[in-house]
Amino acid sequence: MADPPASSRDLTAGISARSLSSGATLLGRVGDKEVVLARAGDRFFAFGAHCTHYHGPLAEGLIVGDTIRCPWHHACFRLDTGEVVRAPALDPIPCWRVERQGDMVFVREKIESKSRPAASDSRQHPSSIVIVGGGAAGLSAANTLRAEGYEGPVTMISADHDPPVDRPNLSKDFLAGEAQDDWLPLWPSDLYAERHVKLVLNANVSSIDTTARTVSLENGSHREYGALLIATGADPVRLPIPGATDKHVHYLRSWADSRAIIERAKGASRVVVVGASFIGLEVAASLRTRDIAVDVVAPDHLPLERIMGAELGRFVKSIHESHGVVFHLGETVKSVSGRTVTLSGGSTLDADLLVIGVGVKPSVALAERAGLAMDRGILVNEFLETSAPGVFAAGDTARWPDPHTGDRIRVEHFVVAERMGRVAARNMLGRRERFDAVPYFWSQHYDVTIRYVGHAEKWDRVQVDGSLDARDASVSFMRGGQRLACATVSRDRENLQAEVELEGALAHR
Ligand SMILES: Cc1cc2nc3c(=O)[nH]c(=O)nc-3n(C[C@H](O)[C@H](O)[C@H](O)COP(=O)(O)OP(=O)(O)OC[C@H]3O[C@@H](n4cnc5c(N)ncnc54)[C@H](O)[C@@H]3O)c2cc1C
Ligand code: FES
C-alpha cells in the first residue's frame, strides 16, 4: 500500500525510528494540527509545522544542534521547548512530547508552555529601560526584555505615527495590495498593555544626558533611564529635484509613507521610480501588480550590481523587464515640470508621481548631540554598548565589530536589526553576550525571492552554481578563495547551510 501523503500521516500512530536519519524531518499530523517530527542524533522532537514569523514551512528547515532554522528568513527555535533563539520570529512554536518504544517513535500530548523564570540575575537589572525607536530593533528588544523576565518599567518612544510594523512588507505585499492591515503590526495593539511596555508615539527624542541618565523629548518632557537603547534606524536620502513638489515626490520608510503612495497610486497610470535600489525595485514590482506603468531611472549600469554583482543585477533587471518595467540606466532625473520628468540625457517621461529610493543614511543626530563615539553610524562594541555607560545601540543606526569579516560593519537588514535588539536587551540584563550573527536579508521581486547570507563589500570572484535563468541557483561571493556571502534563488535550505558554514568558519578561526 502506498504511504499516505506526508501531512496526513498520523504521528501518534508511531513511526519507525530507523526511517528517520539524524537531521531529517517528517511532516505529519497530531489531531488537526500539522506537526513536524525531527531527529537530532538519537533524539526525536515534535513541534508545530509553521514558523511564527510568516508561517514558513519548518519541515523544510535545517536542524542545527538542538535547534530548527526556518527556510524563509532564518528564524531559529529550540527543538525541546520551541523557544525563539533567533529573530525574526518573536513567538515560540508549540511542542509535543515524543516517546520511544523500541524502534518505534510516538508523538504524544502537546507540552503546555510554562512561563519561564527570569533567566538572568535580577540584581543586575537596570531600574528602568528606555528604548528610543519603534522599529525592528526596538520592538525585538522590548519583546526580549519581557521574555527574559525583566520586571522593571520599559518605555518605547517612537517618532512614527504607528506602532512598530513589519517594515519590509511596506514595499512588498502591502504596497501591492496583497496584505491586510493586520499583517503589519509586529505586536497586536493590546500586547503593549499586557506586557507593560509604555509606547509613546509621534514623539521625537531631542537629547540624551548620559551623565544624568535622562532623555528629553521635543515636547519638553524628560524621562530617566537605568539603561537606554538607541534604535533610531535610518532615514531615506532626500534628492533635491528642481521643479518637484511634495505633491509629486514620495519616499518610503514608514507605514504612513506606504499608505500615501497607495493613495496617490489610485488615480495614477504612470510612475517614475528614481533609484534601482532594493526598495526602488520592490516598489516597481508592487506598482506593476497594480497595473501601473513604471519607469526606473538610475545612474547605475545594472541594478543592485554594487551589492549583489553583475550576474544577479542582470537577473533582477530581466525579471522586471519581463513584467513591463522600463529601465533608464546611466541617467538621473534633471527636473520635473507638471507630469513631465526630464532626464539627464535630455529625454522626457510622463509621470503622475515619483517614488525616490536612493538609499538611506543612519539616523544619528541624537547620538552625535549626546557626544557618543561615531563612525558612519553609532559605534558599538561586540556587546552593542556605545561609548556611554548604560547606553546601547542596535539596528540600522549601529556599526559593530563583525567577527566574520574582521571589519566594523553597519547593515540595513530587518533580521539583523531584530537580532541586535535581542542581544542588546540581554546585555542590558547583564548577559555579556557577543553579537556575532552572520548577516541575512531577503528581497522580493514578483514571485522571485533572493536570500542573501553573509557580508561581502568587495569580492574577487563570483561563483554561480545552477542557473539564474531557470530560477534555481546559488551565487557565492569569494575573496582570496574564501566564501564571504551567498545569495540563492529557490534554494532555501542551501542558504541555511551557507549560514551554518559561515558560522563554522568563525569557530575555526
Ligand atoms: C520599505 C522597506 C522595505 C524593506 N525591505 C527589507 C527586506 O526585504 N529585507 C530586509 O532585510 N530589510 C528590509 N528593509 C530594511 C529593514 O526594514 C530595516 O533594516 C529595519 O527596519 C531596521 O530596523 P531599526 O529598528 O534599526 O530601524 P527602524 O525600523 O527604521 O525604526 C527606527 C525607529 O526610530 C524612530 N526614531 C528615529 N529617530 C527618533 C527620535 N529622535 N526619537 C524617537 N524616535 C525616533 C523612528 O520613528 C522609527 O520608529 C526594508 C526597509 C524599508 C523601509
Ligand atoms: S517565516 Fe520563518 S523566519 Fe520568516
Residue 232 has pLDDT above 60, yes or no: yes
Residue 84 has pLDDT above 80, yes or no: yes
Residue 284 has pLDDT above 70, yes or no: yes
- Averaged pLDDT score across all residues of the chain: 95
Strand (E) positions, 58-112?
A: 62-64, 67-69, 76-78, 84-86, 95-101, 104-110
**167-190 confidence digits (pLDDT tens):** 999 999 999 999 999 999 999 999
Residue with cell 545552477: 466
**Grid coordinates in use for 106?**
510516538
**441-461 confidence digits (pLDDT tens):** 999 999 999 999 999 999 999
**408-431 confidence digits (pLDDT tens):** 999 999 999 999 999 999 999 999
Pairing of strands 461-467, 448-454: unpaired
Q: Which atom of ligand 2 is nearest to the CA of 73?
A: 3
| Secondary element (H or E) of residue 35 | strand 33-40
Nearest residue CA, atom 3 of ligand 2?
73
> Average pLDDT of 325-351?
96
Which of 50, 69, 73 for a ligand 2 pocket mutation test, highest count of atoms within 8 Å of Cβ?
A: 73
Name all residues whose Cβ lies below 6 A of ligand 1: 132-138, 157-160, 167-168, 170-171, 204-205, 231-234, 252-253, 279, 363, 366, 395-397, 412-415, 417, 441-443
> Average pLDDT of 282-306?
96
Nearest residue CA, atom 35 of ligand 1?
133
Half-sphere exposure of 49 (CA within 13 A, CB side): 19
Residue with cell 516517546: 99
Residue with cell 533610531: 232
Measure the CA–CA gap between 320 and 329, rounded to whole angstroms. 13
Residue 27 has pLDDT above 70, yes or no: yes
**Grid coordinates in use for 188?**
497586536
75 lines ligand 2 (CB under 6 A): yes
**218-231 confidence digits (pLDDT tens):** 999 999 999 999 99
| Secondary element (H or E) of residue 448 | strand 448-454
Q: Higher confidence at residue 46 or residue 509? A: 46
Residue 104 has pLDDT above 90, yes or no: yes
Q: In this prediction, what percent of the chain has a pLDDT beyond 90?
A: 93
At residue 248, the pLDDT reads 83
Contact 54, 69 (CB under 8 A): no
Which of 257, 396, 410 for a ligand 1 pocket mutation test, highest count of atoms within 8 Å of Cβ?
A: 396
Ligand 1: centre distance to CA 233 (Å): 5
Measure the CA–CA gap between 305 and 276, rounded to whole angstroms. 10
At residue 480, the pLDDT reads 93
C-alpha 290, offset from chain centre? 25
Measure the CA–CA gap between 56 and 50, rounded to whole angstroms. 5
| Secondary element (H or E) of residue 368 | helix 365-369
Residue 1 has pLDDT above 50, yes or no: no
Question: What stretches of 83-155 show up as alpha helix (H) in DSSP?
Answer: 136-147
Q: Is 170 helix (H, G, I), strand (E, B) or coil?
A: helix
Is the torsion defined by CA of 483, 486, 491, 492 positive or negative?
positive
C-alpha 31, offset from chain centre? 33
Residue with cell 514595499: 171
At residue 237, the pLDDT reads 96
Pairing of strands 222-224, 214-217: antiparallel
Q: For residue 122, with 0-12 CB atoms within 10 Å meaning exposed, 13-18 middle and 19 or more buried, which class applies?
A: middle
Helix axes 414-428, 136-147, angle to 10 degrees: 40
- Nearest in space to 437 (alpha carbons), one of 183, 87, 114: 87
Q: What is the pTM of this model?
A: 0.96
> Average pLDDT of 328-340?
95
Ligand 2: centre distance to CA 61 (Å): 10
Residue 119 has pLDDT above 80, yes or no: no
One-letter amino acid at 210 equals T
Q: Measured between alpha carbons, how far is residue 48 from residues 107, 187, 291, 426, 494 in Å? A: 12, 21, 38, 26, 22
At residue 122, the pLDDT reads 82
Measure the CA–CA gap between 211 and 213, rounded to whole angstroms. 5
Residue 67 has pLDDT above 50, yes or no: yes
> Average pLDDT of 452-475?
96
Helix axes 278-289, 305-322, angle to 10 degrees: 10
Per-residue pLDDT band at 124 (split at 50, 70, 90): confident
Q: Higher confidence at residue 123 or residue 59? A: 59
Contact 256, 165 (CB under 8 A): no
Measure the CA–CA gap between 177 and 409, rounded to whole angstroms. 35
- Nearest in space to 85 (alpha carbons), one of 45, 52, 41, 128: 52
C-alpha triplet 381, 385, 389: angle, nearest 5°? 130
Q: Edge-to-edge strands of the sheet including 448-454?
A: 440-445, 448-454, 482-489, 472-479, 461-467
Ligand 2: centre distance to CA 56 (Å): 5
State phi, psi for 195 to the nearest 5 degrees: -95, 10
Per-residue pLDDT band at 153 (split at 50, 70, 90): very high
